[in-house]
Amino acid sequence: MTRKKAYAELGAELLPLLYDVARHMRTHADQMARAHGTTRAQWLILLRLERQPDLSQNELAAITEVAPITVGRLVDRLETCGLVKRCVDPADRRIWRLRLTPAAAPILREVKRCRNSLNDVMTRDIDPDVLAAMLAGLRKMKANLDKRRPAADAS
């Protein structure tokens, strides 16, 4: 078998497998989030705001690739639960900056515990060198795709 043909066969298996793994991850994460009375989308917002406090709703929408109205609704729910607060941007009073409240800390600990549990299940019996190679490959795939991403306002 030629190298090109072997590569094509691997590629034919790769995309469906990546899709299936991602779907299973989302399903497990959804179940864990529901068990805690939240959603996976809310967890993702909390994690993002922990890493990048003071994002605007529009910045958060762009990073998460979700419509601004959807992010607004998710933030509304998180604000109602007392986990996020909207703060006026000192440079532009039309912009809301998002910050976590102290009440978010125990939720974030639980999110991280669940994420670690899911990671343990997913990576069980996989050699660390294989995981490192997978990580390097996935990072390169992401970088390749990011380079080809059309500009958001290229209309």
Query: Which of 1.10.3720.10, 1.10.530.10, 1.10.10.10, 3.40.190.290 is the CATH number of 22-147?
Result: 1.10.10.10
pLDDT of residue 108 exceeding 60: yes
40, 47, 54: which is closest to 85 by C-alpha?
Answer: 54
Q: Do 46 and 110 form a contact (C-beta atoms < 8 A)?
A: no
> Per-domain residue ranges for the chain?
22-147
Burial 137-149 (b: 16+ CB within 10 A, else e): eeeeeeeeeeeee
CA atoms within 13 A on the CB side of 41: 15
Condensed to tens digits (0 to 9), the pLDDT of residues 29-57 reads 999 989 988 899 999 999 999 999 999 99
pTM score, whole prediction: 0.78
Q: What confidence tier does 152 reach under pLDDT thresholds 50, 70, 90?
A: low
What is the rounded CA–CA span in Å between residue 40 and residue 85?
19
